[in-house]
Amino acid sequence: MNEMATKTERRRPDIFTDPEAHTDSTRDAIHHALLPLDRAASEMEFKWGCERLPSLVSPATAALFGSAKAKLDAAIQVNDPQEVVRRAAVMIKGWAKMDLEATERGHKALSPDIWCCVTSTGFNVAIARSNADAIKSIRTDDRMEGVAVYSLDEIGRILEAESYRLLDTVKKTFPEAKVMKTRKKKAPTPLSDDGVPF
């Protein structure tokens, strides 16, 4: 799990890609128990920025949150659905506590024109409504330090590229489909010139 979002790198049990997991009630229970936590974490990322909220609260609160996260990770590792349910509920309360404490300390949430996300693999990204909003946030908002900020226009240009045409077709054909995982393209193996006389 990544530090901020506490989203696990997991896939929903699927009958086609993983038939054994599809019939595994323990894995399915854990997957569904974590969905409310993922939602709470995403809402806090959108509000406060990527991996930022724990730094805005007292060390004691941040330590309690880190401890709760470690206990949730351990419950997931040992496939204990009842403990995952309990620990996920504690984490949701932890997010709410940090949100309240950061607000009481006078910290400001992100502009409504900037949205942040941390993926399950820990990749940080911020989305701005416009190119101007993206530039302004990079220049004036220290919360964006070390975070890639893309405008909606840039995202549109990326997705219209030839390499994403298949993704576009899938999304149009199956409107409710979600991108769950991507793979890097392997570099082609260089040809050997052994035995070539020139």
pLDDT 10s digits, 131-178? 878 888 888 888 788 888 998 889 988 888 888 888 888 888 887 778
Is 160 a domain residue?
yes
Which residue blocks in 56-164 are alpha helix, DSSP H? 59-77, 81-104, 131-140, 152-159
In-domain check, residue 5: no
pLDDT attached to residue 58: 97
Instruction: Give the pLDDT of residue 82.
Output: 96
pLDDT tens-digit readout, 11-65: 555 555 666 655 678 888 998 999 999 999 988 987 887 778 999 999 999 999 9
Domain span at residue 36 reads 19-173
Answer yes or no: is 109 within a domain. yes
pLDDT (0 to 100) of residue 4: 41
Q: Say if 167 falls within a structural domain.
A: yes
What pLDDT sits at residue 64? 97
- C-alpha 132/C-alpha 151 separation (Å) is 8
Q: Is the pLDDT of residue 97 over 80?
A: yes
* 8 confidence band (pLDDT: 50, 70, 90): very low
Which of 48, 81, 84, 62 lies closest to 3 in space, CA to CA? 62
For residue 179, being part of any structural domain is answered with: no
* Total structural domains within the chain: 1
Nearest of 43, 47, 40, 54 to residue 4 by alpha carbon? 54
In a domain? residue 124: yes
Residue-level pLDDT at 18: 61
Choose the weakest-confidence range: 68-72, 107-111, 123-127. Answer: 107-111
